[in-house]
Amino acid sequence: MKRRLAAAVIVIAALGLHAGVTLPARRERDAARSGYARAREQRERLRAEAVRLERRAAAGRAPAGEAAAARALRLSLLRAVEGLPLGGVRVGAESGRGAAVAARGKLVAQGRQADLLRAAGRLAEPSSGVRVDRLSLVEAGSGGVRLEIDVFSVRGET
């Protein structure tokens, strides 16, 4: 009889502990999870908005002045190949002659196709400040690949 009574008391204590501690802790955990999910969604939404605004701000607007525009284009071309194992890199830029084109430039480089495509991808990003006019990949004599890419920048407003 004493064993049954002790077992009943233990079961009642376990149920009370479960109802008093475990269930509220689960509710708190679930509320914290949903709060974290909302904060993560808001962070991603704000990050996407910031990227969109940065791209809009840098949407290919070149600095004012012909020399500054050509210099900025040359720097964009050099940044595209920076850190990549490419050979025979030639970069050229000149001020644009059109009303909307601030500068025109050309990049020629040789190397592995993956590295050349990485450089072209960097130039194609809106944050590069240039727009791709023509791109060609041709087989080089030494078994590598040669990239020739013509780019331009749009005249900016000061």
Higher-confidence residue of 116 and 96: namely 116
Q: What are the backbone angles phi and psi of residue 111, rounded to the nearest 5°?
A: 165, -160
Q: How confident is the model at residue 157 (pLDDT cuts 50, 70, 90)?
A: very low
71-108 pLDDT per residue, tens: 888 988 998 999 999 988 999 988 877 677 888 999 99
* pLDDT score recorded for residue 102: 81
Mean pLDDT of 122-135: 87
The model's pTM: 0.56
Closest CA to 152 of 110, 92, 109, 81: 92
Q: What is the pLDDT of residues 48-64, one digit of tens each?
A: 888 877 766 655 555 56
- List, in order, residues 6 or more apart from 71 with CB less than 8 Å away: 63, 93
pLDDT reading at 149 higher than 80: yes
